[in-house]
Structure 1
Amino acid sequence: MTSPDTLSKTEDRLVEHYTADRPIVQVQETTALTPAQMREYSIITPEAMGQPMVDAFRDIRTRLLAAAGDQNIVTLVVPVSPGSGGSFVARNLAAAVAFDESKSAVLVDCDLRQPSQHTTMHVDAKNGGLLSYLENPATLVSDILYETGVPRLRLIPAGGTPSRHGEYFSSFRMRLLIDSLRSRYPDRYLFLDGPPVRGAPDARILSEIADVIVLVAGYGRDTADDIARAAANFDPNKFAGVVFNEDV
């Protein structure tokens, strides 16, 4: 892994169905988003390669994949504080992996208190999401895995707010979900959009099931002390670095 130095400085100016015995990279989207829709939904597009922000995400992706070697990995993306842009970074790192036609990505919205991915990506989570799976043993992974309109990128939305108190992220069902997602397809990479480090232990609990942790700091918003305290919550062997997100 890289040291806890800055991986990149990005500028936030942008505004599954399982198919047996088929690699996920061969599964086509029912309806693909246009480049204009992707920009509207704050998702980077392959057509914009060469632009600084898009290339920043591609660079971070390349570093993560190089560190992973030949293993598909689970990357936890967490903001230092609310509003730092963690969901934006998680979404676009997943999209950057999906640029590669030999790979696929699943984005899991693990911010149960303030979920946003299904709204931002205009996904109708009619079957529920992560909470449905964690709370109901009858829910299948395929029930909560949604197309996004981005080729090779699937979303598991949060699926509502917690209806009871419980340690969702340390549960057997959570580990089962992660194992199921990563083992079915060797070309699939998981991105967990985690809650802010400040205020609750959930980000640290999620880090136990992740291979890599990326911390997102609001540029000019989170202080050096804030970042250092947030980074201290994680195993240094898993900590890949800090992404500074501008215009948050």
Structure 2
Amino acid sequence: MNDLNHHAAESVEKMSVDDHRSVVRRNEPTTLTPSQLIDRSFIPFADGANRHLVDSFRELRTRLLAISNDNFITLVAPVSPTCGGSFVARNLALAMTFDQSKTALLIDCNLHHPTQHTTMKIDASKGGLINYLEDPEVNVESMIYGTGVARLKLIPAGKSQFGDLEAEYFMSFRMRLLLDSLRSSYKDRYIFLDSPPILGAPDARLLSELADVVVLVAGYGRNTAADIAAAAANFDPLKFAGVVFNENV
């Protein structure tokens, strides 16, 4: 595993997070072994050898909780395709589940190049996000998959029926309805959107309008300061939580 460094921008106001009541779902067991977690590009959180990485994600989670209220939606947006943004999104969602009173839902919003379901070795044959957006008959619960990690679920990107994916899908009524429904159904659920790269396409900017918090992921030694500044300029400064410098690329 490689090291990870991050910093958070100054928050305008620190808000306390309500202590949500426990739910039955928190007792769902983790079925993956440490080696299976590594094989799925998770940080094995019970492995002392990776304590520095676990603590890095735990600290980032704590900072997000400090600047946000209630169960928020976080957009994890990589500067470029080589940043390891999906790795950060996956493990940040995992870190949220370290608190047994909280659950996390990761949504793969990289419709052109989805990776989460294959990395986590999940059979996503029932479809995913794009199937819900295209078909009014698709039920939300049918596209939520278990990951083998307690209190962590995945909505994969899915596969389009039409083959012509547009960024405007993210601005549709169905997309807003989906996020509102997912957030309001469970008050202990924190949602993480795994975004396509920022530079070169409008998808991440459109997704940021649906999120409460934006975390930018830069490839350590790969993205220049100019790249990072150009990427950050796409987002509302009041939503911008900071930059994660990721070496796991």
Q: TM-score, normalised by structure 2?
A: 0.87
Aligned to 2:149: 150
What's the C-alpha RMSD, in Å, of the aligned pairs? 1.9
Q: Which consecutive residues of structure 2, in runs of 5 or more, have no partner in the other structure?
A: 9-21
Whole-Å separation in 1 of the counterparts to 2:136 and 2:39: 36
Contact map agreement 1:87 1:193 (CA 8 A) in 2: yes
Q: TM-score, normalised by structure 1?
A: 0.88
Give identity over the alignment, percent: 60
For 1:191-231, what per-residue CA distance to the aligned partner results, in whole angstroms no more than 9, with x for missing partners? 00000001100000000000000000000000000000000
Deviation at 1:66, TM superposition (A): 1.6
Give 3-state SS (helix, strand or coil) of 2:46's partner: helix
Whole-Å separation in 1 of the counterparts to 2:90 and 2:232: 21
Q: Which consecutive residues of structure 1, in runs of 5 or more, have no partner in the other structure?
A: 9-21
Aligned to 1:51: 51
Whole-Å separation in 1 of the counterparts to 2:169 and 2:195: 13
What does 1:191-202 correspond to in 2, within 5 Å? 191-202=192-203
Contact map agreement 1:107 1:190 (CA 8 A) in 2: yes
Whole-Å separation in 1 of the counterparts to 2:7 and 2:71: 20
Aligned positions, number: 229
Whole-Å separation in 2 of the counterparts to 1:126 and 1:143: 11
Give 3-state SS (helix, strand or coil) of 1:51's partner: helix
Whole-Å separation in 2 of the counterparts to 1:80 and 1:51: 27
Whole-Å separation in 2 of the counterparts to 1:246 and 1:27: 33
Whole-Å separation in 2 of the counterparts to 1:68 and 1:25: 23
For 1:49-97, what per-residue CA distance to the aligned partner results, in whole angstroms no more than 9, with x for missing partners? 662111100100011012124x000000010001111000000000000
For residues 219 and 26 of structure 1, do their structure 2 counterparts lie closer, same or farther at Cα, with a shift above 3 Å needed? closer
For residues 45 and 99 of structure 1, do their structure 2 counterparts lie closer, same or farther at Cα, with a shift above 3 Å needed? farther
Contact map agreement 1:24 1:185 (CA 8 A) in 2: no
For 1:139-197, what per-residue CA distance to the aligned partner results, in whole angstroms no more than 9, with x for missing partners? 01101000000000000000125623541100001001101111011000000000000
Whole-Å separation in 1 of the counterparts to 2:193 and 2:223: 21
Deviation at 1:46, TM superposition (A): 2.8
